[in-house]
Structure 1
Amino acid sequence: MESLIIPILILALVGAGVLLAARALGRREAKDRPGSAPPPSRDPVELARTAAAKLNQEQHRRLYALIAQGQAMAAIKLYFESTGEGLRASRDAVGALAAHPQAFRPAAPEQAPLDEDDDTPQRFPYRYRAIASKGDVTREVSSNMLNDEIYGRIRTLAKSGDTEAAATALTRHSDISMKQAREFIALLGD
């Protein structure tokens, strides 16, 4: 019986090697097949845009509510069930959406892009916090009508010296008074 142990071990190792080689070859062939899906984008902002486009408005709202509550596993599960993508793709998509929040955009391309002179600002499914401080004075504006792009325009206006236009834009995209907006912009101007 002891004489059979070594051949059985050799046979098991050869079998394991053949299985590993077949698996690696199968993966390589799957990558090279025409019509197979291209590898997902590694750019997290583009991944977030693509992931948000796969959700309807209710799914989008619920997903961001879960992210805001810190329930990452529930958010991944919701994305997984809503899109039918794999768990790893769902995890990556939710991570990208959390790091780079995306406003809901309907599938119809007829919606006009946000214009600086538009009187009705777009509302986002998340609250954006803008904080300005100088010395001991700190001001915060929290609104679901602000995002990085709009706040960047407001900061640019403030730094260029056009404080009234910056304050007006800030009041249009938040629920604060003109006086509060001027105080906030005064902290940004320096």
Structure 2
Amino acid sequence: MESLVIPVLILLAAGAGVLLVARVMGRRAAGRRAGGHTPPADPVELARAAAARLTEDEHRRLYALIAQGQAMAAIKLYYEASGEGLRASRDAVGALAAHPQPFRPAAPEAPEPDDDDTPERFPYRYRAIASKGDVTREVSSNMLNDEIYGRIRTLARSGDIEAAATALTKHSDISMKQAREFIALLDD
């Protein structure tokens, strides 16, 4: 007799979950007949939109609650995760239960256009070395690369020392004084 207690409890919990979901769906149908809140016409679109509002962890937890028949806990989770109202959360969970949706990560944002004002960090350290006679200076930074260093050298060769020094300080962690000293050594 004791061996049947656990399976009977599991069966009762599953039955209670099914009754709860049926009750929620029945109330939804009664609300539509009474002229109350009407969910969007297409439940598949509602399910897609609802799934898109969830993170991967929330999505996984929500479907675990639906599978366990814990409709109220699923609605509460969706309500807290989405910030929507209680009725909208109920409708969304109902749509997700009726039309399961796979998790789709948010589309990656388009990269911002390359702007010289904000230096990009590279996964490597770039070393620029300038020397004249016995004097040698080195600048090492992960915000420099061949293209940027080439622009700095071009500015220095054209005589615009201040612009070259400003660009160098913007793309490295050296002071303006150190940048001017480095630029002065770039006479090729």
Establish whether TM, by shorter chain, passes 0.5. Answer: no
Q: What is the TM-score normalised by the length of structure 1? A: 0.41
Which of the two has higher C-alpha Rg? 2
